[in-house]
Structure 1
Amino acid sequence: MTASGILLVDKPGGWTSHDIVARTRRLAGTRKVGHAGTLDPMATGLLILGLNSSTRLLTYIVGTDKEYRATIRLGSATSTDDAEGDLLAQAPAAALAAVSDEAIRSGVAALTGEIDQVPSAVSAIKVDGKRAYARVRAGEEVVLAARAVTVSVFEIGDIRRAAEAIDVDVRVVCSSGTYIRSLARDLGAGLAVGGHLTALRRTRVGPFSVDHARPIDGLDVAERLIPAALAAGELFERLELTEQQAIDLTHGKRIHVPDWENGSGEPIAALSPTGHLVGLIEFRGKEARTLVNFPTDEIATA
């Protein structure tokens, strides 16, 4: 059986996240493969996959903050808020010429911090049990409710002007659930010229960087697999267990750790003396209980 672990894949444009999962299943020889956060087909960059029992870590990875590099085209709006959609409106050249660099910076500033964002209608959000994008493709009109998100960094790198468009290169650091397409749409709407995304690359998910990812073509799964213990150690504080504590947690018992101090309330990665990830645990005072167990006969060692 293929070991459990995390894979960092640099997704190419034109592939869906499901395409990457399907290819990985064949490469790894296991059906149990999942991913932590969908990337649109147009997007490139970091897609995190979990294999076998390490799929249990994906829930925690999905909730971490993300970093993106993107290009926003001002001057036109599309049906999908990105370059793959149908053109809905094109701003006159005079209106574009009236948009100053300072106005763009002010628009970006207004979309930075804690904001209420309406996701793109062409998204994977479920509406009455059906994906929003499926409803849109079926001809339904979909209006999603605004949700609170945090855009901690919205940074302009370059502004390039042409007669029919203004291209703005940006770097965005944001909370889970933030849509960069929606930022492009809202920036264009705020400037009254329309806007959509023409390029998107995810460069970081939580502690994991695209610099350590590899393309799916030619990927050696065994060589690139990050053991669950190492991956959990990147995400959480670690507790090294005694042999008896590891046995107790494996059997669903609580353990008492008299010298433990943890005020974060976050899960803790509990490691056995051999370096295996026994599970993710939570503390109540000096006592800890298991949140998620990991089978020791499947996990790759650190």
Structure 2
Amino acid sequence: MLETAPDGILLVDKPQGISSHRVVAIARRRLGLKKVGHAGTLDPMATGLLVLGIGPSTRLLTHLVGLDKTYTATIRLGVSTDSDDADGAPTAAAGVATADVSDDAIERAVALQRGVIDQVPSTVSAIKVGGRRAYDLARKGESVELTSRTVTISQFDVAGRTDHTVEVAGTGVTVVDIEVVVTCSSGTYVRALARDVGATLGTGAHLVALRRTRVGPFDVQHAIDLEDDAVDVRAALARPADIARRLFSSVTLDAAAAKDLTDGKRVAAQHPDSDEPVAAVAADDDRLVGLVSVRRGLLRVMTNFPPPGASASSQTGPRP
């Protein structure tokens, strides 16, 4: 019996020093499959949870990108960099008179970044300006002006501080490192939070460590080390139906109704009085059939997940 092609969601604990694109490349190699995508990158200096879609499950990634995320991070007060993180070059290193930066002052600065805020992304970011990445423009010395965006910071807590001395350009500088926990909406730049806390305190600041611990309902404690050859990557794949049920309400159809939905037909809802913007539909064999909206008593296909072996023409969803 032929082995089916890999299909599912893979939770990876990205190590420091490699790009998210490198993680995708490793997954492709280990699974022998080209169709691998991710639900939001991490910078090379960052570690933690990277959510990959494998095979047909790449279709789920659209619904994962916008999930809230949780990070642990270390913000260094007293030194600013051109990228707002440790990968950048220092632009100011005045240091901190630690007696003048009290815990209360830090808390007030952090509190200003909680809630719904307008945040200007870091200049060295992947945002496109005139069709070009902001980081490409910045690295070429070109002026980059990014507009603010509205983001939601539902948690920004200080977990501890360390006062110490570091060397910057051959000079000892007194700094304060604060450990923080951040839960935020998609599109938030944690290094911009660090920059803005430093600006409020008048010390300057940048991010020296960042770890993503959660994406929506998915936690890094369930992620794998993709570079560990002893890890069975196929066995670590989460089934599409299981993932969809964690994100949306679910409906189970018999084989005939599931085929009708796959063929693009509208199928009657089990509870005609209940509308849902997105619901997951599984067949009675527990295969994910598709994502639908439920309106006026009918299931209307948004994304189809054809059965294994379906032709390419049958994988585009219903015709208009």
> Same fold by TM-score, threshold 0.5 exceeded?
yes
1:68 is matched with which residue? 71
| 3-state DSSP of counterpart to 1:187 | helix
1:105 is matched with which residue? 107
Which among 34, 50, 54 is matched to residue 53 of structure 2?
Answer: 50
1:192 is matched with which residue? 202
Please report how far the alpha carbon of residue 100 of structure 1 lies from its aligned counterpart in structure 2 after TM superposition: 1.2
Which among 5, 10, 14 is matched to residue 8 of structure 2?
Answer: 5
Give TM-score, length-normalised by structure 2: 0.90
Contact 1:14–1:42 (8 Å) recurs in 2? yes
2:148 is matched with which residue? 146
**Structure 1: which 4+ aligned runs deviate by more than 4 Å?**
none
Please report how far the alpha carbon of residue 98 of structure 1 lies from its aligned counterpart in structure 2 after TM superposition: 1.2
Contact 1:2–1:29 (8 Å) recurs in 2? no
| 3-state DSSP of counterpart to 2:251 | strand
CA distance in 1, matches of 2:159, 2:32: 42
The amino acid of 2:200's aligned partner reads G
CA distance in 2, matches of 1:233, 1:274: 15
1:40 is matched with which residue? 43
Which among 230, 234, 245 is matched to residue 233 of structure 1?
Answer: 245
CA distance in 2, matches of 1:131, 1:87: 22
CA distance in 1, matches of 2:29, 2:147: 38
The amino acid of 1:80's aligned partner reads S
Can you list the C-alpha shifts for 1:155-190, whole angstroms capped at 9, x where unaligned? Answer: 110011125111000000100000100000000011
2:263 is matched with which residue? 251
| 3-state DSSP of counterpart to 1:56 | helix
| 3-state DSSP of counterpart to 1:266 | strand
CA distance in 1, matches of 2:204, 2:272: 54
CA distance in 2, matches of 1:61, 1:105: 32
The amino acid of 2:163's aligned partner reads R
Please report how far the alpha carbon of residue 293 of structure 1 lies from its aligned counterpart in structure 2 after TM superposition: 0.4
1:140-179 paired onto structure 2 within 5 Å: 140-163=142-165, 164-179=174-189
Contact 1:3–1:298 (8 Å) recurs in 2? no
CA RMSD of aligned residues (A): 1.5
- Unaligned segments of structure 1, at least 5 residues: none
The amino acid of 1:122's aligned partner reads V
Contact 1:121–1:142 (8 Å) recurs in 2? yes
Can you list the C-alpha shifts for 1:249-270, whole angstroms capped at 9, x where unaligned? Answer: 100111112524545x431110
Larger RCO (CA within 8 A; separation ≥ 6) = 1
Contact 2:27–2:36 (8 Å) recurs in 1? yes
1:273 is matched with which residue? 284
| 3-state DSSP of counterpart to 1:244 | helix
CA distance in 1, matches of 2:217, 2:270: 30
Which among 284, 294, 300 is matched to residue 283 of structure 1?
Answer: 294
| 3-state DSSP of counterpart to 2:64 | helix
Contact 2:154–2:183 (8 Å) recurs in 1? yes
CA distance in 1, matches of 2:55, 2:274: 30
CA distance in 2, matches of 1:165, 1:189: 15
Contact 1:4–1:298 (8 Å) recurs in 2? no
| 3-state DSSP of counterpart to 1:223 | helix
1:89 is matched with which residue? 92
Q: Give yes or no for the alignment of 1:26 onto 2:66.
A: no
Larger radius of gyration: 2
Please report how far the alpha carbon of residue 3 of structure 1 lies from its aligned counterpart in structure 2 after TM superposition: 2.0
1:297 is matched with which residue? 308
- Unaligned segments of structure 2, at least 5 residues: 166-173, 311-320
CA distance in 2, matches of 1:32, 1:80: 32
Greater Cα shift, 137-146 or 46-55: 137-146
The amino acid of 1:176's aligned partner reads S
| 3-state DSSP of counterpart to 1:239 | strand
CA distance in 1, matches of 2:17, 2:24: 14
**1:234/1:90 Cα in 2 relative to 1: closer, same or farther (>3 Å)?**
same
Contact 2:6–2:31 (8 Å) recurs in 1? no
Number of aligned residue pairs: give it: 297
